[in-house]
């Protein structure tokens, strides 16, 4: 694990954007994946600016979404796709070579998994998987108890996730499932960049990197990744030193 502790959120975001840009610049044709959630916003802003200023070339990079809430579409606040569209994809002055997004409102949601799996199989493995982390150690929506060998799948949301989901969107949405790339696809990425900030993430980071590898803490599988950058602010890093 390459642990990079930054003094605050802004520094973490900038550092992460630089590491991601370096990764993208080092490879030719490639597939990369970004998450939604609150954590990556700063990184996405810096990254977008770097692309728009011509500091990083994404013209040979394919982009694939990590995860989505089943039941939320691109118009809904809180959906991962809206986050990515509003903050990244619609702000880029140069486009990714191709973009594969997840429709959480698809009538045939199982088919969204199939499409996601086929896309990753065809254009993958991922060169880069950028991740946030849930309070229970979920990566994407790989909730506690998940099978490490899964590819993209639909999964019931954990109680922890249901408790925190109110921060993303109105309580009128009662969501029960997520759709996510599987840990097998994430672990096959050449480079993983995990971002976390804030004191509330300190305990789960400790379990992730100092505890046993177990699917009750899905993120602990990252201990077995041989090129994983963990870029965090000092608050989140408190229990890692
Ligand atoms: C969300 C998403 C993840 C995200 C994680 C952390 O529910 N499914 O992709 O990385 O939980 O979210 P946040 O960055 O808002 O803390």
Which tens digit of pLDDT belongs to each residue from 70-92? 999 999 989 999 999 999 999 99
Please give the share of the chain, as a percent, with pLDDT higher than 90: 93
Residue 240 lies in a domain: no
d(CA 78, CA 96) in angstroms, rounded, equals 23
Residue 216 lies in a domain: yes
The set of residues, in sequence order, having a beta carbon less than 8 Å from that of 24 and lying 6+ positions away, is: 30, 32, 56, 57, 58, 61, 127, 128
Residue 241 lies in a domain: no
CATH number of the domain that residue 193 is part of = 3.40.50.1360
Residue 239 lies in a domain: no
- The question of whether 138 is a catalytic residue gets the answer yes
The set of residues, in sequence order, having a beta carbon less than 8 Å from that of 53 and lying 6+ positions away, is: none
Q: Is the CB of 218 under 6 A from ligand 1?
A: no
- The question of whether 144 is a catalytic residue gets the answer no
Over residues 15-62, the pLDDT tens digits come to: 999 999 999 998 889 999 999 999 999 999 999 999 999 999 999 999
Asked if residue 148 lies in contact with residue 188, where contact means CB atoms within 8 angstroms, the answer is no
Q: What's the 167 CA to ligand 1 centre distance in angstroms?
A: 11
Residue 80 lies in a domain: yes
Q: Is the CB of 35 under 6 A from ligand 1?
A: yes
How many domains does the structure of the chain reveal? 1
What 8-state DSSP symbol labels residue 226?
S
Q: What's the 94 CA to ligand 1 centre distance in angstroms?
A: 27
Q: Is the CB of 67 under 6 A from ligand 1?
A: yes
Over residues 129-188, the pLDDT tens digits come to: 999 999 999 999 999 999 999 999 999 999 999 999 888 877 667 799 999 999 999 999
Residue 238 lies in a domain: no
Domain that holds residue 119: 2-233
């Amino acid at each position: 694990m390459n642990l990079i502790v930054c003094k605050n959120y802004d520094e973490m975001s900038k550092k992460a954007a630089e590491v991601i840009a370096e990764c993208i610049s080092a490879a030719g044709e490639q597939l990369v994946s970004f998450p939604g959630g609150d954590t990556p916003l700063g990184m996405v802003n810096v990254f977008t600016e770097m692309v728009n200023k011509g500091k990083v070339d994404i013209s040979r990079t394919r982009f694939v979404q990590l995860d989505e809430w089943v039941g939320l579409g691109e118009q809904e606040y809180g959906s991962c796709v809206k986050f990515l569209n509003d903050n990244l994809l619609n702000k880029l002055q140069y486009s990714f070579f191709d973009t594969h997004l997840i429709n959480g409102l698809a009538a045939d949601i199982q088919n969204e998994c199939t499409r996601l799996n086929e896309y990753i199989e065809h254009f993958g493995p991922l060169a880069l998987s950028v991740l946030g982390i849930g309070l229970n150690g979920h990566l994407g929506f790989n909730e506690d108890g998940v099978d490490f060998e899964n590819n993209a799948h639909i999964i019931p949301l954990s109680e922890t996730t249901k408790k925190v989901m109110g921060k993303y969107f109105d309580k009128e949405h009662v969501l029960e499932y997520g759709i996510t790339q599987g840990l097998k696809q994430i672990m096959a990425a050449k480079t993983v960049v995990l971002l976390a900030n804030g004191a509330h993430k300190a305990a789960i980071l400790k379990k992730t990197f100092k505890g046993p590898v177990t699917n009750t803490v899905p993120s602990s599988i990252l201990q077995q990744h041989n090129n994983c950058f963990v870029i965090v602010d000092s608050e989140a890093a408190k229990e890692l030193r």
